[in-house]
Amino acid sequence: MASKGPDQNLVISYLTLRRLVGALGIALPIVVMVWGFTICGCTRILPSISDYYVLRTRDALVGILFSIACFLYTYRGFDDDDRYGNLAAIFAVAVALFPNSGTQVERTVHFSSAAGLLLVLAYFSLKIFTKSSGHPTPQKLIRNRVYRVCGALILVCVLLIGLYKSFGEASEIALVRPVFWLETIALWSFGFSWFVKGETLWRDK
């Protein structure tokens, strides 16, 4: 059997990197929630993923965010798309370093960075992943639809979180932890789009 050349090995490594980014995004809310259950011995979900910073789950929260930041920083796409990966990496690091339970300045940096991170990730799905260097294959057209759905879901989640923070925090809807679930949907959308970008599903022949 012929051995793989260096270029093919690089492609495989790059696709694996994309899959890892997707897997980390999907795993983050699950890991902090399950670990939180273990620590407090209950099934109580905290109001947001960021609130898990006050528990030992901060280790997973910060570690996964830094890992995602490293992977995003190494992203290279068409033209100068890598600058968006660098920007997303900065936002991810800021979310990890500035907890929402800190000072007013730390909370401001945390929330603005979290919003910025999700918006850049939505841009990846909507604008960057849908690019093509030639005539798109049928599989590429399917992938583009998946990317657009994922990007749209992220934007909807950001909008709904903003509306909730502005008008709904004092209402009974707070009991169902809407921010946690909206953040989870956004992260799963981000993770799934990167998973598809890693040619795990609907790959070209």
Number of residues that make up the chain: 205
pLDDT at 5: 54
CB 82 within 8 A of CB 31: no
Give the pLDDT band (50/70/90) at residue 44.
confident
- Asked if residue 6 has pLDDT above 70, the reply is no
Percent of the chain with pLDDT over 70: 92
How many angstroms separate the first and last alpha carbons of the chain? 20
pLDDT at 122: 97
Q: What is the mean pLDDT of the chain?
A: 89
Cα(146)–Cα(142) distance, rounded to whole angstroms?
A: 6
Q: What are the residue ranges spanned by the domains of the chain?
A: 10-197
pLDDT at 170: 81
